Amino acid sequence: MALGEIMWAPPPALAGLTALLGELEGPTWVEVVRGDQTEKFVGLMDDLRRRFSATGDGKRITCCYAYMGVEPALAWATACRDLMYPVMKQSIESFGERWRSVQGSVGAPSHYVSLGPGDGQKDGVILDDLPGLCYVPVDASTEMLRLAVRDLIVGRRRTKENVLSLSWDFAAREHLVALRGLLDRVCGDTPVLFSLLGNTLANFDDDADLLRLLATELLRPRDRLLLEVATTRELTAELACAAAAEYESSQTFGEFVTAALRRYTDLHVDRDSVEYVGGVVDDRALMVKMVYRNRTGGDLTFVLPNRAEVRFVEGDTIRLAVSRKYSVSGVEGMLAGAGLAVLADSRSEFTGGSGFGLSLLVLAPRSGSSSAVTLADRVWSR
């Protein structure tokens, strides 16, 4: 059966709703929300009250909150379309070609669950090859979700009846368990293609743990995970500095990383106080930390959305974002730890000889443990 031959059939409970959607004008779709936004802010408030750190290891805005709110979502969408941000531009423009080179290994027709759809440009490319199937974008940021889905529906790349938007945190185990349960009901036995694109994995503190969580809680044997990660040829201090400079060079990315700070604090944000610090971590990746440092020459106090006051002394930092570029062995180690097997891998290097590139991988859950002797081992043993 070719990709896309099966059709999304809404369960009876949703049949009436999808019929209604067809009658409503404009971009409308079904969105399922868990809890309310105030729940999400509790963790952010705690993170912004952490101890002093001159190295960006204290106060922080974690990935989950960096995209929340209209301003950060719009700033990210702007960065994605910034012609002066060459790495982002190359990543998006080359995605279609890279997707087509690995598409064949996805196998059976699949519903598509996008974990962190971003501005939806890459999802649009994939959805063009999955007509009629259900599109389930998942993101803790309702605003990001709505930007992505709206563009896809307005651009007629997905009919509104085929979209089930979930404003859920895919890094939280309970949300993943609920997502799996929902997919089992909605999709039945049809395989699911999950995606985690745009090097999103690298933005999480516990990236390897997140990958393991996705593999264990979400993937069934016939499901696939499309993972896109940034890669580096080597792990050196020079390349770490180059990686930091890559992010620092983009005006629009700078606007994005400070957008959350503007939204959640009353600090007068000075762009010159944002530092991009590169380093090598765990012999598996280059890490770039984007930190905001108090360089005013005196102590400050900022106010959080819950009106709590936080002292921000001279030299203290707030980590705004974190990203990584993985070595080949670093990626392999993460995949082995998560029990994932690579079905296809499209690697491309950025122009300019920077040593950086992107890897688009089609992954499947391993049937046994990595130490077990597989059928392949028996075939190729001497």
Partner 1 sequence: MARSSLIAVATFGSVGVAAVVSLVWFWVSSGAGRFEPAVGTLGMLGGLTGILAERRASARDRRAAVLATLRDEVRRAGAVLDGPVFAAGGGSSPPRVYPRLPVSAVDAALVSGALTERGDTELLTRLHQWRDEVTGFNRRLEITETRLFGAGAAHEAADFDRALRRGGGCLEVVRRHRGVLADLLDAGR
Angle between helix 328-338 and helix 207-217 axes, rounded to 10 deg? 40
Cα–Cα distance measured from residue 53 to residue 60, given in angstroms and rounded to the nearest whole number? 10
Cα–Cα distance measured from residue 232 to residue 308, given in angstroms and rounded to the nearest whole number? 41
Cα–Cα distance measured from residue 232 to residue 314, given in angstroms and rounded to the nearest whole number? 35
Q: Under rule CB under 8 A, which residues in 352-371 are in contact with partner 1?
A: 362, 364, 366-367
Other CB atoms within 10 A of residue 42 CB: 10
Q: Tell me the C-alpha to C-alpha distance, in Å, between residue 346 and each of 271, 349, 363.
A: 36, 10, 12
Q: How far is the CB of 321 from partner 1 (least distance, A)?
A: 29
Nearer to partner 1, 146 or 224 (CB): 224
Q: Under rule CB under 8 A, which residues in 61-90 are in contact with partner 1?
A: none
Spatial contact of 113 and 168, defined as CB atoms under 8 Å apart: no
Q: Under rule CB under 8 A, which residues in 334-353 are in contact with partner 1?
A: 341-345, 347
Q: Is 300 left (phi over 0), alpha (psi -120 to 50) or beta?
A: beta
Find the binder of partner 1 among 221, 297, 298, 353 (CB under 8 A). Answer: 221
377 binds partner 1 (CB under 8 A): yes
Cα–Cα distance measured from residue 84 to residue 247, given in angstroms and rounded to the nearest whole number? 11
Nearer to partner 1, 280 or 342 (CB): 342
Binding mask 94-123 for partner 1 (x = CB under 8 A): --------x-xx-x----------------
Q: Tell me which amino acid residue 20 is.
A: L
382 binds partner 1 (CB under 8 A): yes
Looking at the DSSP bridge assignments, the partners of residue 196 are: 227
Per CB under 8 A, which region of 72-80, 254-262, 303-311, 372-380 contacts partner 1? 372-380
Q: How far is the CB of 379 from partner 1 (least distance, A)?
A: 5
2 binds partner 1 (CB under 8 A): no
> For partner 1, how many residues bind (rule: CB under 8 A)?
23
Cα–Cα distance measured from residue 241 to residue 13, given in angstroms and rounded to the nearest whole number? 54
Q: How far is the CB of 132 from partner 1 (least distance, A)?
A: 23
* 3-state class (DSSP) for residue 345: strand
Nearer to partner 1, 167 or 199 (CB): 199
Find the binder of partner 1 among 1, 36, 189, 380 (CB under 8 A). Answer: 380
The tokens for 73 are 């979502």
Spatial contact of 66 and 200, defined as CB atoms under 8 Å apart: no
Q: How far is the CB of 343 from partner 1 (least distance, A)?
A: 5
Nearer to partner 1, 160 or 233 (CB): 233
Binding site for partner 1 (CB under 8 A): 102, 104-105, 107, 221, 341-345, 347, 362, 364, 366-367, 374-377, 379-382
